[in-house]
Structure 1
């Protein structure tokens, strides 16, 4: 079904290219970061029908659930645990083609099959992550990395 949707709406890259200005328009004049995160999640979920899209924010030595779209999620994730905690610790984007093969994966839902996590870096420090899950294996690639990084960079530019 996702492949049919992509045929109707264009390639993944074309979809991201059309979505970027929309997201930038949504967040560029809004100072409330919770609202901005919520709109980013909604836009990504709507455009790509991802299984789960959300933010986790650094609070002490844990990531705490922020705005998201999808089923109920894990509320707290320890530093360097699971895909999100590992992306935070490494301060780099992680693409996981099969979450069942990721050592220490935290299964908030057994329906999640692949995942990409992008750290949010502000002033050289990780302040959170954007987590995107798919119900299909091998859903994420360098196109997702490229455009999700652009979305996060636009978001960070807007943080006061």
Structure 2
């Protein structure tokens, strides 16, 4: 596949429906996990213009920054700390409409206003999280959770 995305217009469903086959084609035949995570971040950021899109992977019982697109980020996050650490600890997707109202939110960027974090679960264990931040309040909903989970399933973890 060419390295250019066809940026779709329309509602979230239409945008994700256009993006997912492109990501699948981009990842097809590539087994390197880091390369695939990097391209997923770039594709999501380019399509939706999110403030920050990235991965944190569990290493030595903490989340360690992986491939991302956006401003510099927190390098390590402890279990149950912030939105990412809480998603990891609870093994569930968290949608935060206003990060300032989330107890213990870790402000890696003061520009972040809302966030969604989806745990990457393999063999009944969280091995990392996909973290997406927006500069707008209330940017994420169940539609994002559904499609972002589908995108995670495309990556060979």
Measure how far apart 1:63 and its partner are.
0.2
Report SS of the residue matched to 1:13: helix
Report SS of the residue matched to 1:35: helix
Q: Provide the C-alpha distance between the structure 2 equivalents of 1:96 and 1:135, rounded to a whole number of angstroms.
A: 12
The structure with the largest helix share of the pair is 1
Alignment-derived partner of residue 82 in structure 2: 82
Q: How does 1:5-16 map to 2 (within 5 A)?
A: 9-16=9-16
Alignment-derived partner of residue 106 in structure 2: 106
Alignment-derived partner of residue 145 in structure 1: 145
Alignment-derived partner of residue 72 in structure 1: 72
Q: How does 1:16-55 map to 2 (within 5 A)?
A: 16-55=16-55
Alignment-derived partner of residue 3 in structure 1: none
Write out per-residue CA displacement over residues 41-79 of structure 1, whole angstroms, 9 at most, x where no aligned residue. Answer: 000000000000000000122100000000000000000
Measure how far apart 1:148 and its partner are.
0.4
Alignment-derived partner of residue 154 in structure 1: 154
Q: List, as ranges, runs of 4+ consecutive aligned residues in structure 1 with deviation greater than 6 Å.
A: none
Measure how far apart 1:36 and its partner are.
0.2
Measure how far apart 1:28 and its partner are.
2.6
Alignment-derived partner of residue 62 in structure 1: 62
Q: TM-score, normalised by structure 2?
A: 0.93
The two structures, once aligned, show a CA RMSD in angstroms of: 0.9
Report SS of the residue matched to 2:85: helix
Alignment-derived partner of residue 5 in structure 1: none
The worse-fitting range, judged by mean Cα deviation, of 24-33 and 41-50 is 24-33
The worse-fitting range, judged by mean Cα deviation, of 96-105 and 22-31 is 22-31
Report SS of the residue matched to 2:66: strand
